[in-house]
Chain A
Amino acid sequence: MKFKPARSFLFIAGLLLICAPLRAHHGNSAYDEEHWITISGTVTEFVWANPHCQIFLDVKDDKGALVNWAIESQSPGILRRNNWTRTSVKTGDQISITLAPAKNGAPVGFSGNQSGKIVFADGHILKIDIR
């Protein structure tokens, strides 16, 4: 039997295909979950509501103008399970938040799975690792 690099490559490529569904998050199609970004700014509102909590954040754009970002999170029950509370995020907090931005370019994003996180000015972090 000869060494067949093509066969080995196909074998590994096949395994990657098997793994891919585990890694993809199949998120809402509005968001670009292939390109997560981190933005920093000042919290203007934290909405603790079912079925979606939401975070609103003033962020300076390239020209220094303030843009209010709207960010989708998870349900209060899921956030609680990840050690968030309704007062974990407060108006006026300085945060950096990692999110999947809207594909249409609007200042909207999704930060509701294990790829998202919030880093506060004092360094503490909020994540969503479990459902």
Chain B
Amino acid sequence: MRGCTRFSWTYSLTGLALLLIVCATTSAQNAAPHAASKAASTPAPKRDLSGVWQLQGDGSQQPIAPDADMPPMTPWAKAKFDAEKPGYGARGAAGGNDPILQCDPIGFPRIMMMPTPLEFLQVSGRVLQFWEREHEWRPIWVDGRSLPEDLDPAWYGYAVGHWEGDYTLVVESTGFRESTWLGPTGYPHSENMHITERYNRVDHDTIIYDLTISDPKAYAKTIVTPHRTLKLKPTGEIAEYPCVWTEENSFTKRIREPATPKNNQ
């Protein structure tokens, strides 16, 4: 019987090893050609996230969380969710009504789920984030102020941050327009959405990025997103990537609409 046990484990472990190789190869595709950065063992600078970073993944924009991890929606949110026609995910179909197809601003936090790089800059009292996607930015105020009351809704909200120790920037934000989706698979939010982010620089080249979303008007519980990894790109540069309406409109006429069944246009 012991021989059979070994046989079983041999097969299982061989299968595991092969699968890990496949997984590692595919997940490395997005990152491989970048210049090698400093060894991860190089000490990270304290209270400093400056540099160009990139979300790790398969190269696609990512949903805010897997469908199975999304908390139950309130009737208010469910009605909005049912009206969404995303191009990605389980409900994905050609065409649809994703607001970014009209060049509406992607908004926060969806912009963080894009595979293109972002850059952090630190100036007095603020950490600035610049995203290649949309060529957009937001300030994170780290001068000790609190979130203001009665904010006017904004595409990228209003953010304040503080350091926990020397390597974790915690960011609180609110004041969001409710017309944006949380991700490419849809999911609505309200103007009352409150986001907490943690940028934990675990080594010189790596930030573990966690985000929770509290929005009682829309969800029965806090949304807890999966751990994400941002990698430093020492030679990275932020390119222009605006949604140019005239060019997007031409693209829609020449490619998007011909590829969409008539009943979905």
Contacts and interface: CB of A to CB of B under 8 A. Distances in A.
Interface string A88-127: 0000000000000011101110000110000000000000
Contacts of B240: 50, 76-77
B123 interface: no
Contacts of A3: 4-5, 7-8
A102 B262 CA distance: 13
Interface residues of A, number: 50
Contacts of B243: 50-51
Interface string B53-93: 01000111100000000000000000000000001110011
A80 B96 CA distance: 30
B23 A19 contact: yes
B19 A12 contact: yes
A18 B240 CA distance: 35
Range, interface on chain B: 35 or more
A50 B242 contact: yes
Interface in B1-48: 1, 4-5, 7-8, 11-12, 15-16, 19, 22-23, 26-27, 29-34
Contacts of A22: 23, 26-27, 58
A129 B33 contact: yes
Nearest to B103: A51
Dominant SS at the B interface?
loop
A102 B5 CA distance: 49
Contacts of A35: none
Contacts of B23: 18-19, 22
Interface in B84-119: 87-89, 92-96, 115-117
A47 B253 CA distance: 14
A103 B34 CA distance: 34
Interface stretch (B149-157, B167-175, B244-252): B244-252
B132 interface: yes
B88 A7 contact: no
Contacts of A52: 247-248, 251, 255
Given A30-B259, A52-B251, A75-B239, A129 B29 contact: yes
B250 to A, nearest CB: 8
Nearest to A23: B26
B261 interface: yes
Contacts of B59: 25, 113-114, 130-131
A108 B258 contact: yes
A31 B9 CA distance: 40
Contacts of B58: 21-26
Given A3-B7, A70-B255, A19 B247 contact: no
Given A50-B243, A103-B94, 6 more contacts: A3-B8, A77-B116, A77-B239, A102-B258, A129-B32, A130-B31
Shortest 4 CB-CB contacts between residues of A and residues of B:
A77-B239, A3-B4, A30-B94, A29-B92
Interface of B: 1, 4-5, 7-8, 11-12, 15-16, 19, 22-23, 26-27, 29-34, 54, 58-61, 87-89, 92-96, 115-117, 132, 184, 239-244, 247-248, 250-251, 254-256, 258-261
